[in-house]
Amino acid sequence: MRKRTALVAFAATLTLLAQPAQALPQEAPLAQASLAAATPGIGHDYEPLRDAAARSGKTFGFAYAPHIANSDAKYKAIAQREFSMVTAENNMKWDATEPRRGQFTFNGADEIMSFAAANNQKVYGHALVWHAQMPAWAKSITNRDDMRKAMNDHIKGVAGRYKGKIEAWDVVNEAFEWDGSRRPSELQKVMGNSWIEEAFRTARAADPNAKLCYNDYSTDGINSKSTAVYNMVKDFKARGVPIDCVGFQTHLIVGQLPASNKQNLQRFADLGVDVRITELDIRIQLPASQQALQTHATEYGQVVKNCWEISRCTGVTIWGISDKYSWIPQVSPGWNAALPWNDNYSTKPALASVANAMGAKKNGSSTGLVCGISAKVGANWSTGYTTDIVIANKGTTPIDGWTLQTTLPDGQKLATGWSGQFTQNGQRLSVSNTSFNKTIKPGESVSFNFNTTKNGNSSTALRNFTVNGQQCT
Ligand code: XIL
């Protein structure tokens, strides 16, 4: 419903209004536009980041916990809007999928598969074999062949169930130590060095279409650990052990992004495998200082840029959405602020930094502004014309204070206006609210009008409308 504000005529307009109208008021709209709705509550005004990533041939992913989506609508809305890839934060791990030997439980994993399918997202499988979140029954096996059977049966059970539907699997997670030696896990102790390649061969047979990855943390720069992984990948490639990709978790402490991050990713890519940032978060000691948040933003942007500059880097996955549900406070008490979204879904500088590194376009408003404009010529005579403009609030939140801008045809000047505060700068006309039409409630509109001198240019076509800086044409 449009609600017309009563016109307030000023004496200064009388000269223009006194001139005889040369044409009857026209009803042809000069501009009629409504903006695509910016999803309310996402905390920023960029296009969906998945769209920006897609233009570079990459995916933007997140660690997904279905129980949160079921209880938190904002989490769900962001999960659907921003991401083109989903990693199960926990539901595809060994303890979740095979809590008792030979008894597979796929409820959570299935829920993730259907969420991803419904939202046109790829699924990154995480993780088939890992010493953590490995069920007690498996950890307690001491016989080598029995452990191999348990591991291979697990891989066949899980990778087999989702055969053809998983983009890539973390076949093995976190098998190395800081110094580059093998982690002395039950897997390593019972099976010896060959267990990693055996896991990869079993996974390839179970799902020949999934890319098979090795994933680890603190391998983000060139160091003893990443070099040990590098040497393993090189050896696998040389011997024909099936490996397609390496995941770099990138759980960082603010200020500690290794300078060699890009060089490290590149050296793996040069071995002929894909690389990916698989679990990005950057923790800050609480309370987070402004300076820490700036470094945090710079490092988030740098990680994305490093990946974007490497053709074999398939994209970036962040380990959650909002700090509210991050795993960081559990493992690192007193630290968090690790993700781009705060507890209340406002965004940190890191969000803009990520968006800009991806080349994301702005397309909405952080206030959820959704506007529609109609502009009509109300009277048209030889030396001037009157324009009536209506701004409609087509969104769900009140617009509390507005400034409309438009460009007048060359040489034309504002003569006077009503129901707004008018200023002209070059051909750009700005009209801000008065005290009596400041708020536009959802579904309502305000109107104002003004006279313009023609100065020899008879066009009445106004161009480039914005409301509060947002494009409305
Ligand atoms: C974490 C989850 O985020 C937590 O919810 C869970 O309690 C423990 O695991 N490296 C990995 C991830 O590969 O699976 C871990 O996820 C974080 C570290």
Determine the 3-state secondary structure of 291 from DSSP.
helix
Residue 371 is predicted with a pLDDT of 78
Asked, for residue 15, whether it belongs to a domain, the answer is no
Q: Are 434 and 316 in a shared domain?
A: no
Cβ density class 57-85: b for 16+ within 10 Å, e for less: ebbbbbbbbbebbeebebbbbbbbbbbbb
Query: How many percent of the chain have pLDDT more than 70?
Result: 89
Asked, for residue 4, whether it belongs to a domain, the answer is no
Q: Please provide the average confidence, as pLDDT, over all residues in the chain.
A: 90
- CA-closest candidate to residue 74, choices 118, 41, 49, 112: 41
Rounded average pLDDT over 205-223: 98
| Burial zone of 469 (CB within 10 Å; 0-12 exposed, 13-18 middle, 19+ buried) | exposed
pLDDT bin (cut points 50, 70, 90) of residue 28 is very low
DSSP-assigned beta bridge partners for residue 385: 380, 452
Rounded average pLDDT over 295-314: 98
Mark which of 316, 335, 358 sits at the end of a domain: 358
Q: Are 308 and 396 in a shared domain?
A: no
Phi/psi for 114 (5° steps) reads -75, -35
Asked, for residue 453, whether it belongs to a domain, the answer is yes
Q: Which of 82, 89, 98, 174 is catalytic?
A: 174
Residue 81 is predicted with a pLDDT of 95
Phi/psi for 221 (5° steps) reads -115, 180
Verify whether residue 197 is a known catalytic residue: no
pLDDT at 203 over 70: yes
- CA-closest candidate to residue 127, choices 282, 240, 4, 245: 245
How far apart, in whole angstroms, are the C-alpha atoms of residue 218 and residue 264? Answer: 12
Q: Are 256 and 334 in a shared domain?
A: yes
Q: Are 194 and 339 in a shared domain?
A: yes
Name the CA dihedral angle for 349, 354, 357, 362, rounded to a multiple of 10 degrees.
Answer: -80
Q: At what angle do helices 195-206 and 144-161 cross, to 10 degrees?
A: 30
Q: Are 324 and 401 in a shared domain?
A: no
Q: Any idea what the CATH number is for the domain that residue 166 is in?
A: 3.20.20.80
Q: Are 255 and 396 in a shared domain?
A: no
How far apart, in whole angstroms, are the C-alpha atoms of residue 204 and residue 197? Answer: 11
Global pTM value: 0.73
Rounded average pLDDT over 209-237: 98
pLDDT at 95 over 90: yes
Query: How many percent of the chain have pLDDT more than 90?
Result: 82
Asked, for residue 81, whether it belongs to a domain, the answer is yes
Higher local confidence (pLDDT), 170 or 457: 170
Assess whether the C-beta atom of 45 lies below 6 angstroms from ligand 1: no
- CA-closest candidate to residue 445, choices 374, 366, 368, 365: 374
Question: Residue 411 is encoded by which pair of tokens?
Answer: 């040489």
Q: Are 352 and 448 in a shared domain?
A: no
Q: Are 148 and 185 in a shared domain?
A: yes
Report how far ligand 1's centroid is from the alpha carbon of 120 (Å).
24
Mark which of 293, 323, 358 sits at the end of a domain: 358
Higher local confidence (pLDDT), 352 or 18: 352
Mark which of 358, 382, 397 sits at the end of a domain: 358
28 contacts 339 by C-beta, under 8 angstroms:
no
Higher local confidence (pLDDT), 179 or 24: 179
Which ligand 1 atom is nearest residue 170's CA?
13
Asked, for residue 3, whether it belongs to a domain, the answer is no
Assess whether the C-beta atom of 433 lies below 6 angstroms from ligand 1: no
Q: Are 186 and 125 in a shared domain?
A: yes
249 contacts 215 by C-beta, under 8 angstroms:
yes
Q: Are 334 and 372 in a shared domain?
A: no
Lowest mean pLDDT among 245-259, 277-291, 309-323, 442-456: 442-456
Q: Any idea what the CATH number is for the domain that residue 424 is in?
A: 2.60.40.290
Higher local confidence (pLDDT), 184 or 40: 184
Assess whether the C-beta atom of 216 lies below 6 angstroms from ligand 1: no
Asked, for residue 104, whether it belongs to a domain, the answer is yes
Rounded average pLDDT over 144-162: 98
Domain that holds residue 429: 367-471
Q: Are 150 and 230 in a shared domain?
A: yes
Verify whether residue 198 is a known catalytic residue: no
How far apart, in whole angstroms, are the C-alpha atoms of residue 153 and residue 129? Answer: 11
Residue 19 is predicted with a pLDDT of 39
Rounded average pLDDT over 445-469: 91
Domains held by the chain: number: 2
